[in-house]
A and B are shown apart, each in its own frame.
Chain A
Amino acid sequence: MKPTTHQHATSQSAVAALPGKYLTFTLGDESYGIPVLKVREIIRLCPVTAVANMPEHVKGVINLRGKVIPLVDLRAKFRLPIGTDNERNCIVVTQIAAPSGGTRLYGIVVDGVEEVANFVAEDIEPTPDFGGALDAHFITGMAKSGSAVKTLIDLDKISSEDGTIPIRELKDLHS
């Protein structure tokens, strides 16, 4: 998918592909980046309450100082191997657009946080066409950082798909 058409599809992703500061983190052997403005804080792993009958990558909910926020494992979402937990594992708490308007908090489990990098326009390249080999529609661009490549992703796009589990007939509830 061409990034231009993609940018039209979601207004949020257009912002994400802009040059600026990104928080980069690792998932398995790969490196990803999200706009640093979306990051609210980084916390250590904490007890997770699983919510039944949700997709595999939705780990459950955690207590962030009195707030209940969802926790998503991007490794499961991207079908990456989930290694054993170590002390570099942490939760990046992000602030993303809520479908109902406003913002909401959204926690993602990452293998490790790398750095806050400043990407200028020349560093960012459009998403290459993977030829259908993978679902790339939430990737907003590829950033070159030295010899490494960081995949810039659109969290708004990812999170908006998480709620899509089969909906039971609502009227069943009132019958």
Chain B
Amino acid sequence: MTSPQVDLHATLDTLLQQIGLELAFVDVTQENGIAGLREQVLAIAGALDSPADVPEPIRQAVTAARSWLDERSAADSRFTAETITSFNEWHSWLATALTAWAHGQSCAAVPAGWSVVAAPSAVTPPATTPTAAPARAAAIAPADDTFQDQKVDVSVTAGDTELVQLFCAEAQDLLQDIEQGVLVLEANPSDSTTINTLFRAFHTFKGNVGVMNLVVLQQLTHELESLLDAARRGTFQLGRESFDVILAGEDVLKRYVEEMSKLLGSNEQKTTIPLPIPRLIAKVRGLLAQGRSAAPAAAPAQAAPAATPPATPAAPAAAKPQPAAAPAPVAAPVPAPVVAEKVAPAPVKPPQPTAVPAPAAVTPVPVPAPPTSAAPVQESADIASAASAPKAQQRSSASTSSGIVRVDTLKLDSLIDLVGELVIAQSMVVQNTEVTTLTDGHLSRSLGQLRGITSDLQRTAMSLRMVPIRNTFQKMARLVRDLALQQGKDIQLVLQGEDTELDRTIVEELGDPLIHMIRNSADHGIEPVEQRLAKGKDAAGTITLRAFHQGGFIVIEIKDDGRGLNPDRIRAKAIERGLIRAEDSLDEESIFELIFAPGFSTAEQVTDLSGRGVGMDVVRRNIEKMRGSVEIQSEVDRGTTFTISLPLTLAIIEGLLVGVGDQRYIVPTLSVRESFRPLPGMVSTVQGRGEMVSVRGRLTPMLRLGRHLNTPSRATDPTQGIVVVVESGQESRCLFVDELIGKQEVVIKNLGDMFRNQTEFAGAAILGDGRVGLILDINSLVKLKSKNGDTAA
């Protein structure tokens, strides 16, 4: 114990010297210095966090200093004459006290004015603090609603744009690490590697916000960091409350970062957003104070992490005397808001509602919260994240060390463009008629080598667009945790194949549909625990999210073992909504398809999660936009599986090249059902104009592409041309073209803003001869209203 003790005193001495220096240079109404001072006071607080034998007066003094700083930064972040005087006094007092402590002597009590007001009744602010700022009020307030959201500045200084951009990008990564880490820890609260990772993430974040001079955020991150630091040293046992606080803190930081990056992209001059930072800080401090006094006794006894918070509130009450006089111990009032907090969230959705002890909220004396009200919910969430735990853990340690370079996506896109140009230029050289007549062996070897390198380069460039689906999947872990908590269900999320790589654009677009479907599974699919037990299933429902390659597609499967889709109910609902008629006979597959119809919802009860009848149709539309498809398999009481198939990349499609007049168009092969040269008599007309082709006994409307696109067509008689049957969704249509030229893989190019209002073409591609070919938008051609299309024919 001697050596860490000596170290501690050495550290404290250094810090004290730095504070002395800092104080020597501060000036009234000046801002600079306050951040540095804060950093050092916080460092002292951090150093004093863990040792058990820190004399109470020293702790009180540090707390007092922190509250002064809080108050100053809540006001105008400037020193006042009073603050400087107090700090100078404080500095010399602390120096004496620390020396006394180091020599094993007892130190003097803190001067009367310093201690934070002990009891809520004694609201007279100490003489040294000139104004009763909101932050001060927050630090002592007993009830939750006293904590005002703090307005936080998010404005970006013009010159800082680049710095802010970097900050935001890095912050997003760190926050994601934090979220994952917490979910891992929930399953296994004593996992020291993850605690360390989390601690480091917060530490880095704190450093970053420090560079950005975001004092308020720095405070919050510091508090969270100290919480984790205590957990890391084993003096604090992480539990449900701490995880909630950390996640809440992460949410606050995330909101801030999001607002900031939004501001970056716009010219908006919005400067502040309200964030519940003071409340969170008070909560973290409360937890720490509570944990510190409870830890020695309670920690070893607690095998189950969920039991920690409910068990501890009694301890501070016993350990600290109830505050009565003004110079009372500062630590005692702090747990009070925590208890109030703990009681407040409990009624959210307790499975077995217990009477909420109302007096607890009003008395400053900590009262044990009812442990039963929260426990089952906690358990379920713990299990929910258990499945993803081991992998997430490996990743978080891996991601810190892997060499990843951040690249602007615009640069990436232009690189890919350039490689595309290179490939075309290379083929132009190789296919040049002059070059092909040359018989020099040397040249042909070199050309072969050039071709090889170019295609390697192209493959590598394309792979830059591919990212693993991991991040999107991990977001779902948090979603399921929150859903399970909200609904009091027991849900386990199993992730498989997170390393499957998808086109960056697809991964981005996939997030929303996935959230929707996972919500549906958790809300409608997985039954409440009692129902599951009654059916003889495991109490814990399982949602499996799986990604894998299959035949040139990426398949994403969302599978739950819930109640499954009930065809009879869907049918009844569809009839009620007028989607089908009562006499329609549909097979099971078509009935399941109905849930994708707009305005369809079978949830008996609309919850705030899902069931409002928007959703599945949007999901399908989003997925079809990416040229993918969704399928459903379901069995009553066994569960439902949604299977999403997506193309490997959005950048390349396989197309059927068709010729009309002197123009060539590309029809995506995915939409083509068949093509043939019609025999005489296959095409019949209605009113002499509307043309129909009989395809396997089904009459399908025919659209003459040449007329529709104002391109003079060579073939006028249907038997001279080719009919291509295309389909989109349930509908199909025949496109009449002059000829089929071939099949070709093409790189899709955007047509650009100028053509944004036309609906005929989905994009363009460079064809083999260097000319531009247009890709037909089959969806809009198939669904073309007859007044627009067929009257022209």
Interface, chain A (partner B; CB < 8 A): 47, 49-54, 58, 60-63, 65-70, 98-100, 104, 106, 159, 162-168, 172-175
Specify the chain A residue showing the minimal Cβ separation from B772. Answer: A49
Please report the C-alpha to C-alpha distance between residue A69 and residue B752 in the assembled complex, in whole angstroms.
8
- Contact at B417–A67, with CB atoms within 8 Å? yes
- Contact at A168–B711, with CB atoms within 8 Å? no
- Contact at A67–B749, with CB atoms within 8 Å? yes
- Contact at B783–A175, with CB atoms within 8 Å? yes
- Contact at A66–B417, with CB atoms within 8 Å? yes
Please report the C-alpha to C-alpha distance between residue A67 and residue B413 in the assembled complex, in whole angstroms.
12
Determine whether B384 belongs to the interface, using a CB cutoff of 8 Å to chain A: no
- Contact at B753–A104, with CB atoms within 8 Å? yes
B180-188, B215-223, B757-765 - the one binding chain A: B757-765
Chain A to chain B contacts (Cβ below 8 Å), 13 pairs: A49-B773, A51-B758, A52-B709, A53-B758, A58-B754, A63-B770, A63-B772, A66-B421, A67-B417, A67-B749, A70-B754, A164-B757, A168-B788
B752 touches which of A53, A63, A65, A104 (Cβ 8 Å): A104
- Contact at B709–A68, with CB atoms within 8 Å? no
Please report the C-alpha to C-alpha distance between residue A5 and residue B80 in the assembled complex, in whole angstroms.
52
- Contact at A172–B783, with CB atoms within 8 Å? yes
Interchain nearest-CB distance for B38 vs A (Å): 39
With contacts A51-B761, A51-B774, A52-B760 taken as known, whether A163 is within 8 angstroms of B663 at the C-beta atoms is: no
- Contact at A52–B711, with CB atoms within 8 Å? yes
Inter-chain contacts of A159 with B (CB < 8 A): 754
Specify the chain B residue showing the minimal Cβ separation from A66. Answer: B421
Given contacts A61-B772, A162-B754, A173-B779, 8 further A-B contacts (CB under 8 A): A50-B711, A53-B710, A53-B758, A53-B760, A63-B766, A70-B755, A104-B753, A172-B783
Please report the C-alpha to C-alpha distance between residue A54 and residue B418 in the assembled complex, in whole angstroms.
29
B755 touches which of A47, A51, A66, A67 (Cβ 8 Å): A51
Contact with A along B732-774 (1 / 0, CB 8 A): 0000000000000000011111111111110010100011111
- Contact at B621–A174, with CB atoms within 8 Å? yes
Interchain nearest-CB distance for A96 vs B (Å): 10
Please report the C-alpha to C-alpha distance between residue A106 and residue B753 in the assembled complex, in whole angstroms.
10
Please report the C-alpha to C-alpha distance between residue A167 and residue B399 in the assembled complex, in whole angstroms.
48
Determine whether B785 belongs to the interface, using a CB cutoff of 8 Å to chain A: yes
Determine whether B420 belongs to the interface, using a CB cutoff of 8 Å to chain A: yes
Inter-chain contacts of B780 with A (CB < 8 A): 173
Determine whether B424 belongs to the interface, using a CB cutoff of 8 Å to chain A: yes
Specify the chain A residue showing the minimal Cβ separation from B705. Answer: A52
Specify the chain B residue showing the minimal Cβ separation from A60. Answer: B772
Inter-chain contacts of A166 with B (CB < 8 A): 757
Specify the chain B residue showing the minimal Cβ separation from A161. Answer: B754
With contacts A68-B764, A173-B779 taken as known, whether A163 is within 8 angstroms of B774 at the C-beta atoms is: no
Interchain nearest-CB distance for A11 vs B (Å): 12
Please report the C-alpha to C-alpha distance between residue A50 and residue B785 in the assembled complex, in whole angstroms.
24
Specify the chain A residue showing the minimal Cβ separation from B764. Answer: A68
Inter-chain contacts of B424 with A (CB < 8 A): 65-66
Please report the C-alpha to C-alpha distance between residue A128 and residue B788 in the assembled complex, in whole angstroms.
43
A167 touches which of B754, B755, B757, B760 (Cβ 8 Å): B757
Interchain nearest-CB distance for B247 vs A (Å): 34
- Contact at A65–B421, with CB atoms within 8 Å? yes
- Contact at B754–A68, with CB atoms within 8 Å? no
Please report the C-alpha to C-alpha distance between residue A49 and residue B750 in the assembled complex, in whole angstroms.
14
- Contact at A70–B779, with CB atoms within 8 Å? no
Interchain nearest-CB distance for A104 vs B (Å): 6
Inter-chain contacts of B755 with A (CB < 8 A): 51, 54, 70, 163
With contacts A61-B764, A67-B417 taken as known, whether A100 is within 8 angstroms of B753 at the C-beta atoms is: yes
Please report the C-alpha to C-alpha distance between residue A164 and residue B758 in the assembled complex, in whole angstroms.
10
- Contact at B749–A68, with CB atoms within 8 Å? yes
Inter-chain contacts of A69 with B (CB < 8 A): 752
Inter-chain contacts of B709 with A (CB < 8 A): 52-53
- Contact at A163–B772, with CB atoms within 8 Å? no
Interface centre among B709, B750, B758, B773 (most CB of A within 10 A): B758
Inter-chain contacts of A58 with B (CB < 8 A): 754
Interchain nearest-CB distance for B410 vs A (Å): 8
Interface centre among B709, B753, B754, B774 (most CB of A within 10 A): B754
Q: Pick the 9 closest A-B CB pairs, nearest first.
A: A66-B421, A52-B709, A49-B772, A68-B749, A68-B764, A70-B754, A66-B420, A65-B421, A61-B772
